Amino acid sequence: MNTFTESIQKDFHYEFPEIINLEKVRKYTFDLSVFTEEEKEFYKKYAGSYIPEYEFSKEYLTYHLSEFEIRYIKNDIIFVGFTKSFSGIDYDLNSKKFYESDGVSASQIKNFSQFSLPSYFEKNKFFKVENYDAVTKVINQKKQKMNRPPLKKSDEIKIRELLIGFYSLLGKKEFNKIIDTYFESTVDKENYESVFFLNYTDLYLNTSPFEIYINTFFNDDIDKYDEDTIFVELKYRHAINYVSFAIKKINGEYKIIQYVGRYDEE
The predicted-structure confidence for 199-230, as pLDDT tens digits, reads as follows: 777 665 667 789 999 998 777 777 888 888 99
Tens-digit pLDDT profile for residues 104-145: 778 999 999 889 988 888 888 999 999 999 999 999 988 887
Q: Write down the pLDDT at residue 78.
A: 94
Q: Which helix (H) or strand (E) holds 39?
A: helix 37-46
Distances (CA, A) of 263 to 48, 189, 202: 30, 21, 6
Instruction: Compute CA 164 distance to the chain's CA centroid, rounded to the nearest angstrom.
Output: 24
What is the structure's pLDDT at 183? 96
pLDDT, one tens digit per residue, over 1-59 is 677 889 999 999 998 888 899 999 999 999 999 899 999 999 999 999 999 999 999 99
Three-state secondary structure call for residue 170: helix
Question: Quick check: 240 and 68 in contact, CB under 8 A?
Answer: no
Distance CA 26, CA 127 (A): 23
Domains along the chain with CATH numbers: 2-16+148-262 (3.10.450), 22-143 (no CATH)
Residue 194 has, within 13 A of its CA and on its CB side, a CA count of 3
Provide the pLDDT for residue 206.
Answer: 64
Length of the chain: 266
> With the C-alpha atoms ordered 207, 18, 146, 64, is the resulting torsion angle positive or negative?
negative
User: pLDDT tens digit string along 134-180?
Assistant: 999 999 988 887 778 899 999 999 999 999 999 899 888 899 999 99
The confidence score (pLDDT) of residue 249 equals 93
